[in-house]
């Protein structure tokens, strides 16, 4: 059986360098996804944080940056408590196109269809916010 892989491609009216900042900069990621504890620009662990400031432990999701090739490719692991220990991989690929950037996000490592469907819906919502930020 083939492992399911989620692939989403969007086109943004911004140069790859600007899109790169929106997927790697702590301040920019918080505008369209979740607050993160550091920039995703070096091979290091990171945490996405909950929106609830009153929680003692705000860690919501976490991972580790595996590959950084600005402004072309970012690869990091991604997990959270609902994935029950599964460590997934998210790959961001940026390609310059006329008047903007083709951004392809590949999310692999989720074997359960329910988890895949839930993340598919979530990524659609987050990528729509990213598109709105870069319009």
Q: CA separation (Å) from 97 to 9, 13, 106?
A: 13, 9, 19
Kind of pairing between the strands at 5-12 and 45-49: unpaired
Hey, what domains does the chain have and what are their CATH numbers?
5-133 (3.30.530.20)
Sign, Cα dihedral of 122, 125, 130, 131: positive
Residue with tokens 């790697």: 24
pTM of the entire predicted model: 0.91
Residue 14 binned pLDDT confidence (cut-offs 50, 70, 90): very high
Tens of pLDDT, residues 78-123: 998 888 888 999 999 999 999 999 999 999 988 766 678 888 999 9
């Amino acid at each position: 059986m083939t492992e399911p892989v989620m692939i989403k491609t969007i086109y943004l009216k911004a140069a790859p360098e600007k899109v790169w900042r929106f997927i790697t900069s702590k301040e920019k990621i918080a505008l369209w996804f979740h607050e993160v504890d550091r920039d995703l620009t070096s091979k290091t662990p990171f945490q996405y944080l909950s929106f609830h400031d009153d929680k003692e432990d705000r860690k919501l999701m976490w991972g580790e940056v595996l590959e950084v090739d600005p402004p072309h490719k970012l690869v990091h692991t991604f997990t959270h408590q609902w994935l029950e220990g599964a460590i997934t991989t998210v790959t961001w690929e940026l390609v310059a196109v006329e008047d903007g950037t083709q951004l392809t996000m590949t999310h692999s490592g989720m074997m359960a269809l329910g988890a895949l469907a839930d993340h598919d819906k979530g990524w659609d919502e987050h990528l729509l916010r990213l598109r709105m930020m870069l319009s």
